[in-house]
Structures are given as structure tokens and as C-alpha cells.
């Protein structure tokens, strides 16, 4: 199940933990950086080639990124097209900088 983060609502602790798990791997950080630099969708094959992983390993990383809500994918035939969910990334990371009361 994919979480849905957006800039309008504060993500839960669980949602943020999924994001931090997703960005806790250097390959997934490279994928996010690559997607961040794109103005349009990019294919899974292009991503695998750019970050230096097999398509099978990219599939594993994709499921973690999609579950965290950081990446959206669509399939057209055998080709998957990826985009970065910038709002989800900003919401998860930005929420740490805002002062909030700690629930006990």
C-alpha cells in the first residue's frame, strides 16, 4: 500500500518513517536525484542505466519508493514511466523543520 503525502497535510510519523527508509539506501537516493533533475517522465530502462543497476534490482527499489509515496509509475506495454512525487518528498522532509508538540 502506498502512502499519500502532500504539501497541505502533515505526514504521520509512520509515513515519514517509510520515506526515511526509502531514502536510506544510496541507490534510491541516486534514483530520486535523477528523477528530480527531470522535467518529464523517464523510463525504468533509462533509470537503471543511469544509476548502474539491473532492471530486476530497479524493480525492488521501485516498490520501496512507490510504497513510500515518493515515486509514481505508469506502465505502457512493457515500459514503465517514472516521476518524482515532489510534494510527498517536500512534505516529509519539511515537516521535520517545523516545530510541533511531541505526543506522549
How many domains are there within the chain?
Answer: 1
CA 99 to chain CA mean position, Å: 24
81-104 pLDDT tens trace: 999 999 988 888 887 776 666 665
In a domain? residue 60: yes
CATH number at residue 55: 1.10.10.10
This prediction has a pTM of: 0.82
DSSP letters, 29-58, are HHHHHHHHT-SS-EEHHHHHHHHT--HHHH
In a domain? residue 99: no
In a domain? residue 2: no
38-69 pLDDT tens trace: 999 999 999 999 999 999 999 999 999 999 99
Domain that holds residue 66: 13-94
Amino acid at each position: 500500500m502506498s502512502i499519500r503525502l502532500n504539501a497541505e497535510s502533515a505526514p504521520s510519523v509512520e509515513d515519514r518513517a517509510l520515506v526515511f527508509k526509502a531514502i536510506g539506501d544510496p541507490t534510491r537516493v541516486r534514483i530520486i536525484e535523477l528523477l528530480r533533475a527531470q522535467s518529464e517522465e523517464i523510463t525504468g530502462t533509462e533509470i537503471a542505466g543511469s544509476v548502474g543497476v539491473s532492471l530486476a534490482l530497479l524493480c525492488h527499489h521501485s516498490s520501496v519508493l512507490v510504497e513510500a509515496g515518493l515515486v509514481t509509475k505508469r506502465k505502457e506495454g512493457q515500459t514503465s514511466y517514472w516521476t518524482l512525487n515532489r510534494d510527498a518528498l517536500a512534505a516529509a522532509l519539511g515537516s521535520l523543520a517545523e516545530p510541533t508538540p511531541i505526543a506522549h
